[in-house]
Each structure stands twice: as C-alpha cells, then as structure tokens.
Amino acid sequence: MKIYLVRHGEVNHNLYGLYSREDEDLNETGIKQAKELRESIKNIEYDFIISSPLSRAKHTANIINIENKNIIIDDRLKERDPGSLSGQPLEVTNREEYWNYYATIQYGTSEDIKKFFNRIYNFLDELKTKDYRNILIVAHSGVSKAFSGYFNGIDDGRFLNRGLKNCQIKEYEL
C-alpha cells in the first residue's frame, strides 16, 4: 500500500513561531499552499483521505481532494500536544531536545514524545492490517516526524529536521 503523507498548509502559529494547541484554521498563505499542492498531486490516485481532526488538516484535505473521495477523520493523527507551552515562542525550549526521542527533559505538560510516537505507530500498525492500495493522509509536522521514525528508524533520536514543511508531501510504502 502506498501512503502519501501531507502536512497541512500554514497557520498563524507557524508564521509567528509559536507552540499552539489551538484548533487554528489555515491562513491565506496556507490556503494558497493547499491549492498549489492540489495542482501538483492531481495525477496521484488515492482510495480516500485520512485526516487529523484539527481544522487546519481538514481544510487542507478538502482543498486537495481533487477526486472528491471520502475523508475519514482519525484522532490519532492530531499534532503532539504542547500542553502548557501553548502560546509561547518556540525558543522557550531547546528544540533539538524537544524533538529528541531519547531526551530526558520534560517541557511543561507537553505530550511525551514516546507516547506521541506510539500513538502514530498504532495508527500505522492498524493500516497494515487493511487491504488498501493508495491513501492520502493529511496531518502535521510532528506526525511526519513520527512517520519518519516508523519507516526510517529512530537512529540517534533527533527528529527536529525530519518533519515536512507546510503542504509538503512524502510517499511511503507500507
């Protein structure tokens, strides 16, 4: 089965470099990015879309859904919860440590990275049991980091630079 993983378009907390647990919708740039992505993927065949329940992912999924296929919402695809970091600039943490699978530092009440990865791995393990051909998944940067760990290994545990950019797409074989 082929999986096409897409990160949602830009939202203001991306633009301003903030942690956020708010259910924020796409900004104008994010809508433009999604429309551009729709054009670049129009030849990709997919059975359906699975999306994070967050507005930014669902909005992106609706824009890129050129074949007007079903969109299934899966809560496991939510972004890593920053907890008490929400609303704060990214610089309040050591970003390398925040996205280090082996880090022992806990920043506020943010979701533990291992628990977060396990949530995504559970989703992918369940997909393995299905008989699908091609799936388009719309999610978040953190989710793309967990996909990287699942398909490419944990290695040194550093995931800061292993995530997708807004409206970037990556293909995986499951």
Residue 45 bears catalytic tag: no
Query: What letter represents residue 46's amino acid?
Result: Y
Residue 79 bears catalytic tag: yes
Question: Cβ contacts of residue 141 below 8 Å, gap of 6+?
Answer: 7, 79, 163, 164, 165
Pick the catalytic residue from 10, 13, 59, 79: 79
The answer to whether the CB of 165 falls within 8 A of the CB of 29 is: no
**How do the residues of the chain divide into helix, strand and coil, expressed in percent and rounded to 5?**
40, 15, 45
The answer to whether the CB of 100 falls within 8 A of the CB of 159 is: yes
Pick the catalytic residue from 8, 13, 59, 140: 8
Q: Catalytic residues, which ones? A: 8, 79
